[in-house]
A and B are shown apart, each in its own frame.
Chain A
Amino acid sequence: MAHTSDRYYIPHGSPWPIVGTVALLLLMFGVASALNGAAIGKFSMLAGAVVLLFMLFGWFGVVIKESVDGIYNQQVDRSFRMGMAWFIASEVMFFAAFFGALFYARQIVLPWLGGESNNFFTNFLLWPGFEGTWPSNGPAEIGGEYKPMGPWGLPAINTAILLSSGVTITIAHHALKAGNRGMLILFLGLTWALGLLFVGLQATEYAHAYHDIADGGLGLTLGSGIYGSTFFMLTGFHGLHVTLGATMLIVIWFRCLKGHFTPENHFGFEGVAWYWHFVDVVWLGLFIFVYWL
């Protein structure tokens, strides 16, 4: 912060948002068309993804350059912090919708289908003998036979991995505050490596789940009734966020290598670190609610 502006920095025009808009149009049109079985869908999707990546590089590139040039003052820094905080708040609510679906299904839907509350006749007439216990793929046993995912083995190892990555990023954070560059780079590198390892193991776990029981798998798919739906929706969206978080960590790691952050001025680092902690806590919630309780 050797030289900061006394004025709030306001860019005069920027091409990146409109590029992002075009990317979204191509991407959304592509996915929707692909779901409808239209041949153009895939191409549009691919084009959208490419433009989106181009936009992300361009936009973040500009912001990083402006930051390094010292154009941002304290007030701009605060705007970024607040923006990040409220973005994460919206992410929390997004996950809340899926957790809500899990709780509602377990605490209300299944007991009711099993005849609890005033639903005796629903149960008696529609699905006599169905017991609303968890886990369940419903009275019609949608998706066929499956085994639930237990907490031991990969899930427990994955939890240990993600928690360790939380420890390493905290050490890196301490190192950054203390101005210890070597430690910072080492432990930040470890963090994203652990993140990628987590994603890899999660993919292995999914493959294991998707195999038929006869083949030594679990026979558990997205289509395995409400249990499969909530399991894959929650862990899948979390996996997406881990991938995103790991990508951001890698970007930040390169910025650390270039020496972009100082013990006093490192919002980029703190924002990503906080995001990583958020992803980590969501996993812990998943581990508790999806695998244990």
Chain B
Amino acid sequence: MVLTKIFVLVVFLGIVSSLGSAMFYLVRDEGNSDRTLKALTWRIGLSVALFASLFVAYALGLIQPHGITPAG
């Protein structure tokens, strides 16, 4: 459980930092390079992966939503 939560948090941090670097390139490159777009593509890819892995983790019993007691 704890490890799964840490995994989720680390991936989320990765998403936030790719978004942050996209902002940096947005200002720095003034739309003349692909770095903004590349960083944003990374961030959306990671997000989708995280969303999918939440499902997988739940199916494997690695994570429980808080406050919801498992059925049965």
Contacts and interface: CB of A to CB of B under 8 A. Distances in A.
Q: Tell me if chains A and B make direct contact, with any CB pair below 8 A.
A: yes
A85 B40 contact: no
A291 interface: yes
Given A88-B23, A160-B51, A166-B47, A292 B63 contact: yes
Contacts of B65: 150-151, 291-292
B66 A135 contact: yes
A122 interface: no
Given A277-B22, A293-B5, A284 B37 contact: no
B14 to A, nearest CB: 11
A134 interface: yes
Contacts of B34: 177
Contacts of A271: 26
Interface in A76-107: 77-78, 81-82, 84-85, 88
Interface in A110-125: none
Given A81-B27, A267-B31, A281 B5 contact: no
Interface residues of B, number: 31
Interface in A240-293: 264-267, 270-271, 273-274, 277-278, 280-281, 284-285, 287-288, 291-293
B59 interface: no
Interface stretch (A42-50, A52-60, A62-70, A167-175): A167-175
B56 interface: no
A148 interface: yes
Interface residues of A, number: 42
Contacts of A291: 65
A285 B40 contact: no
A56 B40 CA distance: 28
A281 B23 contact: no
Interface string B1-36: 000010011001001100100110011001110101
B59 to A, nearest CB: 12
A163 B46 CA distance: 10
A4 interface: no
Interface of A: 74, 77-78, 81-82, 84-85, 88, 133-135, 148, 150-151, 159-160, 163, 166-167, 170, 173-174, 177, 264-267, 270-271, 273-274, 277-278, 280-281, 284-285, 287-288, 291-293
Interface of B: 5, 8-9, 12, 15-16, 19, 22-23, 26-27, 30-32, 34, 36-37, 40-41, 43-44, 47-48, 50-51, 54, 63, 65-68
> Can you list the 7 inter-chain pairs with the closest CB atoms, starting with the nearest?
A148-B67, A166-B44, A135-B67, A81-B27, A151-B65, A85-B27, A85-B23
